[in-house]
Chain A
Amino acid sequence: MKQEHVLDIRKELTIVLDDVLGLGGRAQSFSDETALLGALPELDSMAVVGIIAGIEEHFGIYLADDEIDGSSFATFGSLLHLVQDKLA
């Protein structure tokens, strides 16, 4: 059951990224190692803000100032980790 829950968050996060960045489904093939900030041309500062807001809205959570960190946007895995921690 736990594993299923984790997979679900992964899937939902790819939907947020596809929606916000207009990746047309590309996010669904992201692995934990896929680099985001600095590697994905779509990910400019407005898009970063859009992703944070998108995550909050999609998962019904609030990311406080001390929970947001640039390193969370390094890879898909680190971003997933942020959401999983928050929902744990």
Chain B
Amino acid sequence: MASNFLPFFLPSSHGALYGLYLPHTSTEVRGTLLWLPPFAEEANCARRHIVAAARECQAQGYASLLIDPFGTGESDGELVDASWDIWRSNIVEAASWLRAKQPGPLWLAGVRAGVLLAADVVSDVMPAGMVCWQPVSSGRAVLDSFLRMKLASEWALGEATKAMDILGKLREQLAAGASVEVAGYELSASMAAALAARTLSWAQQACERVACVEFRTHGETPSALQHTPAMARLCDGLSAAGMRVASLVCEAPAFWQAHEAVLTPRLGVKTATLLKGLRGVSA
């Protein structure tokens, strides 16, 4: 039986990037998904959930490429040496590879902070559309959460540390141009600044279609699950900017922030169904 996934190293202008390619396994080819992971520890937590979804998408006619940007995962380089522009370049090169490997409409599938990166390369990659899995609200929020990890880990140890003592020091370091180390991740001042400057500036993007997927678990019945106000606002904003928007709430735990989260079946199938609707049956 032919292997239905291929781990490999993609040669890039910034060293070898670890990739996982999953070809479609359907007779009908619908397109490809280039998955952009969340930031730092969230990428670790989310990885197997993304792979599980990508596997489901194979049978739906979508090939997937998961890529570790420079300085993350198994790819070359250290995080401290990464820059936002290197990451953008990684994604553009990965998209070229994916297009050569499997023709068809290419979707940029961002997860959490990966959506910020996806939005930033839309004009270079010119995808058929974007998939936004639990998008972050802004790069500033991503950086805040990253720095707060240090604080929360002290609290977990029972230390009654004042937030200002920890966060203030980290922010001072960054302001002075020094890197900071949080939970084993060393982030440069320039990367922190670049991240903090990113917002989902959709209106300027030439992206026609956007599929937004939100994951919630609160105690009501699944049929009653609705978008959070933040997600509803985002979808409204995208529609107002002239994009075709399809959205979905899936009953699933916040897998990007839990190492042990149980895999939720059908997240890939549901995402693929959303894309089919956006493209129309002929696509």
Residues of A within 8 A of B (CB): 15, 18-28, 37-38, 42, 44-50, 52-53, 56-58, 60, 65-71, 73
Contact = CB atoms under 8 A, between A and B. Distances in A.
Given A20-B254, A44-B156, A56-B141, A49 B163 contact: no
Contact of B218 (A25, A49, A69): A25
A65 B167 contact: yes
| CB-based closest 10 A-B pairs | A25-B219, A45-B152, A22-B253, A48-B152, A18-B218, A68-B163, A65-B167, A70-B155, A45-B153, A50-B257
Contacts of A15: 218
A57 B228 contact: yes
B35 to A, nearest CB: 21
A53 B149 CA distance: 11
Interface in B137-164: 137, 141, 144-145, 148-149, 151-156, 158-164
15 contacts: A22-B253, A23-B217, A25-B219, A27-B219, A37-B155, A45-B183, A46-B41, A48-B148, A48-B156, A50-B254, A53-B141, A58-B229, A65-B163, A68-B163, A70-B161
A22 B254 contact: yes
A56 B138 CA distance: 12
Interface of B: 41, 45, 137, 141, 144-145, 148-149, 151-156, 158-164, 167-168, 171, 183, 216-220, 228-230, 253-254, 257-259, 261
A31 B217 CA distance: 20
A46 B255 CA distance: 11
Contact of B144 (A26, A47, A53): A53
Contacts of A23: 217, 219
Contacts of B219: 18, 23-28
